[in-house]
Structure 1
Amino acid sequence: MTRPEIRGVILDILENIAPDEDLSDLNDSEPFREQMELDSMDFLDIVMELRKRYRVQIPEEDYPNLNTMDGTVNYLEPKLADTPV
């Protein structure tokens, strides 16, 4: 997957978890929780959806890497490099 494809996947997951949020002006370098109404369960839902869709294992100690869109894409890029869309 490319960086834009990974970003699209994350946006899709976020839309499913927080359907009332406007993601059109999401700042990729700002933490999700500062821009959206996400709680810790929503965050775990993101991690679980990535595991379900792409079999990506994300250890709890790596969760801070997923605070922003940029961080999430950077973290997932090597893990999803050979994954078809």
Structure 2
Amino acid sequence: MKRDEALDVVKESLAEIVPDADFAALGPDDTFRDALELDSLDFLSFIEVLGRRTGIRIDDEDTPNRTTLSDSADFLVARTE
């Protein structure tokens, strides 16, 4: 998976959880919880959706590092190489 594809998947996954999210205002290193006001359940739902959409297993120890667009996209790219 290329990085731009990974970014799209991350945004699409977030959009399932926060349909009215303004992704134009979300910077690559802004944390989802702050920028999109995600609570812990929303964040876990995002992780589940991201895993389902990509078929990539996201273990509990990987979850704390999936908090920005950049982190999440880099993770997906690394897992698909």
TM-score using structure 2 length: 0.88
| CA distance in structure 2 between the partners assigned to 1:46 and 1:70 by the alignment | 15
Please show how residues 1-12 of structure 1 align to structure 2 within 5 Å: 1-12=1-12
Q: Which residue of 2 aligns with 1:75?
A: 75
TM-score using structure 1 length: 0.84
Instruction: Give the count of matched residue pairs.
Output: 81
| TM-superposed deviation, 1:2 | 0.6
Q: Which residue of 1 aligns with 2:19?
A: 19
**Conservation of the 8 A alpha-carbon contact between 2:17 and 2:42:** yes
Q: Which entry has the higher C-alpha Rg, 1 or 2? A: 1
Unpaired runs of at least 5, structure 2: none
Q: Does 1:48 align with 2:45?
A: no
| CA distance in structure 1 between the partners assigned to 2:68 and 2:51 by the alignment | 18
Q: Secondary structure at the match of 2:9?
A: helix
Runs of 4+ residues deviating >2 angstroms: none
| CA distance in structure 1 between the partners assigned to 2:50 and 2:21 by the alignment | 20
| CA distance in structure 2 between the partners assigned to 1:10 and 1:52 by the alignment | 11
Percentage of identical aligned residues: 35
| CA distance in structure 1 between the partners assigned to 2:25 and 2:16 by the alignment | 17
| TM-superposed deviation, 1:69 | 0.8
